[in-house]
Amino acid sequence: MKNKTKVFFVTGTDTSVGKTVVTYLLSRRLQQEGFRVGIMKPFQCGGDDAAFLKKKLELEDDITDINPYFAKEPLSPHLAFQRQNMKINLSVLLDCFQRLCEEKDILFVEGAGGLMVPLKKNYYMIDLISDLNAHVIVVARTGLGTINHSLLTLQQLRQYALPIKGIIFNRSSRVKQGVAEKTNPDEVAEHGQVTVLGNIPYLRNVRTRKADDLVKETRRHIDIEKILEESKTLKAICRRRKRWDQEYLWHPFTQMQEWLMEDPLVIDRAQGSYLIDGMGRRYLDGVSSLWVNVHGHRHPVIDQMLQQQIKRLSHSTLLGLSNTPAIELARELVRITPVDLKKVFYSDNGSTAVEIAIKMAYQFWQNIGQKKKTGIAHLANSYHGDTLGGVSVSGIDLFHKVYQKIIFKTFQVDFPDCYRAPKGKSYPDYAFECLDQMDAFFKENARTLAAFVVEPIVQGAAGMIVWPQGVLTRMEEICRKHHVIFIVDEVATGFGRTGKMFACEHENAVPDILCVAKGLTGGYLPLAATITNQKIFDGFLFDYKDRKTFFHGHTYTGNPLCCAAALANIAVFKKEKVLQRLQPKIAYLEKRLKKFLNLKHVGDIRQKGFMVGIELVGNRQTKEPFPWERKIGARVCQAVRKKGVILRPLGNVIVLMPPLSISTQEIDQLLDSTYQAIQSETE
């Protein structure tokens, strides 16, 4: 939020605890002290509190800004507005909020009911507080039940990490003060570790008496100084975090010399398809937080599953022991992956998943006595991760060339970048020509080749290169024919990315070993799995003394929290019919992407499901790339960030990879902003 208005959100431990009275008293008192005070009551269901406050506080703001959503029935907002056929639109509300902030020093926003009042699906009053960046004042009545209600409210606020200003007790009825009423403030302060800002006695005729009289009567019962007390402003906190980032952090794949000169964007929270920074600015997560997020951020099913798992077990080892989520997830993975796959080996990330596959394949042949089969083959422009094993089977020069002397030797198989087939060759014929060469090469080297590792259908990091139908099956055939273990790396393509659960399914390809990671936990936690068929597994069943065990394992292998997140992720696929609902969105994306060819520097648009690469070229006729130093991809992504969208390019290729849960409206935002950014940066 651009202005300096202090925003307080007044919420209650329950309905009818006196939020409006408290808002009224605080506002009037501050008006008396010379502050320009505003009020917002975003949702009102029954009653006339907003009009009352506007009148009594002599506010000139439009009543429709003070109260944009009004329902006649005194019900929970989501019900009240549904029954009036009214849709709650957050951006309308935020516009009113902005207008109100403009001329004020202080704005009080009054809730309706308590924190967990639903406003719409998966969005509660507490989410609104979070979105408004407000300090929270809790109002509680005194009496029996107050301790419980107050502590629950405080606990929930803390789970959301919201800044709690304090609690105000309000006697809303004239019943005699008993022990409970008298001890409530101290008890809540003690157990809730919260500041008591006030303890207001019962007030007669609030509605009809003069405001100034009420302020006088309550003056000594409300600690206005504590409310105004300058905690560190949000801006200062955000500035400090940026400084600390530059002081302490080393970022991956980042030239830190450049980073240190720039203003880092610090993400503080997220919701659905959006990432949110410390100041509350929202950014569409256009690359799913580096290709991992699936069902949106803070999905209630995954959140809840994790919360439950934390209360049971966070970690125990798989070395010599087992644990519940690891077992259940292994069974699920065997169920949802291609039929032949039977055994699950866990690790923590995509690179290790691939390394494990390679070690397994290598040792498999050693174990069964075919000692010469040691070679690993991969495509020349492949990407399988950044650990030395991953780098060994990758071929992206920029990332990997420097490590040449410390990685192991492999066989590189040429495969065309479909957009740049050599002169005189046409696509897709040329792709199959290359496969014939691969066949010949495998035939010649069958005695020494152990395994072939490949990203199926879409080669992600190479620039979203999409293969024609049939390539993957042909690769499988070649591997089978020459007894080469077929390792498929679905780290990027798995979990719905290409429109099917796994890219293999597009061609019914069946790997010997399958690697998954990125989307496995829905983008929540680092977890990977290397899944093998029975034959590979059996190649390790020997006597203990034979020393043919698979000697590999990471300390956090099969971590229960990660496995629980993955179980929830898979459950959501089923529960929300994610793949079915994805299909029209893929078609919509495809249709809208065509328009990008109007831009004269767009050379190629590649799409498979929700994996999109838009290749920018200096000259469309000659396909000549933009010069490397011009950093055109990075510049487009900088420009699009100013429009509230986060992207990360692959060189000159703009990558779009939104969460599968993105709405068509959000797809529009993503594409419109990207289009404009490409236009402005390439012209």
Ligand X SMILES: *Cc1c(COP(=O)(O)O)cnc(C)c1O
- Which residues lie near ligand X (CB under 6 A)? 349-351, 354, 383-385, 455, 460-461, 489, 491-492, 517-518
Q: Indicate the residue among 154 and 517 with the shorter CB distance to ligand X.
A: 517
Distance of closest approach, residue 383 Cβ to ligand X, in angstroms: 6
Distance of closest approach, residue 286 Cβ to ligand X, in angstroms: 17
For CA atoms 83, 84, 87, 89, the dihedral sign is negative
Alpha carbon of residue 168 to chain centroid: 36
Q: Indicate the residue among 460 and 539 with the shorter CB distance to ligand X.
A: 460
- Both tokens assigned to 456: 């199926």
Distance of closest approach, residue 526 Cβ to ligand X, in angstroms: 7
Question: What are the φ/ψ torsions at residue 277 (nearest 5 degrees)?
Answer: -90, 180
Distance of closest approach, residue 651 Cβ to ligand X, in angstroms: 15
**Exposed, middle or buried by CB within 10 Å (0-12, 13-18, 19+), for 313?**
middle
SS3 617: strand
Q: Indicate the residue among 131 and 355 with the shorter CB distance to ligand X.
A: 355
Distance of closest approach, residue 413 Cβ to ligand X, in angstroms: 16
Question: What are the φ/ψ torsions at residue 450 (nearest 5 degrees)?
Answer: -90, -45
Q: Indicate the residue among 460 and 499 with the shorter CB distance to ligand X.
A: 460
Distance of closest approach, residue 73 Cβ to ligand X, in angstroms: 51
Distance of closest approach, residue 350 Cβ to ligand X, in angstroms: 2
- Both tokens assigned to 133: 């960046």
Q: Indicate the residue among 297 and 378 with the shorter CB distance to ligand X.
A: 378
- Report which residue's Cβ sits closest to ligand X: 350
Distance of closest approach, residue 133 Cβ to ligand X, in angstroms: 33
SS3 531: strand
Q: Indicate the residue among 330 and 517 with the shorter CB distance to ligand X.
A: 517
In 3D, which of 235, 655, 582 has the Cα closest to residue 646? 655
User: What's the CA gap between 651 and 9, in Å, rounded?
Assistant: 45
Q: Indicate the residue among 167 and 529 with the shorter CB distance to ligand X.
A: 529
User: What's the CA gap between 402 and 417, in Å, rounded?
Assistant: 23
Distance of closest approach, residue 661 Cβ to ligand X, in angstroms: 20
User: What's the CA gap between 169 and 161, in Å, rounded?
Assistant: 22
**Exposed, middle or buried by CB within 10 Å (0-12, 13-18, 19+), for 76?**
buried
φ/ψ bin of 653: left (φ > 0), alpha (ψ from -120 to 50), beta (otherwise): beta
Distance of closest approach, residue 258 Cβ to ligand X, in angstroms: 22
Which helix (H) or strand (E) is 532 found in, with range? Answer: strand 528-533
Distance of closest approach, residue 285 Cβ to ligand X, in angstroms: 17
DSSP 222: B
User: What's the CA gap between 417 and 431, in Å, rounded?
Assistant: 9
Q: Indicate the residue among 354 and 379 with the shorter CB distance to ligand X.
A: 354
Q: Indicate the residue among 350 and 416 with the shorter CB distance to ligand X.
A: 350
Q: Indicate the residue among 459 and 533 with the shorter CB distance to ligand X.
A: 459
Q: Indicate the residue among 137 and 453 with the shorter CB distance to ligand X.
A: 453
- DSSP letter for each residue of 47-81: S-HHHHHHHHTT--S-HHHH-SEEESS-S-HHHHH
Q: Is there a contact between 536 and 513 (Cβ–Cβ < 8 Å)?
A: yes
SS3 459: strand
User: What's the CA gap between 515 and 361, in Å, rounded?
Assistant: 13
User: What's the CA gap between 220 and 214, in Å, rounded?
Assistant: 11
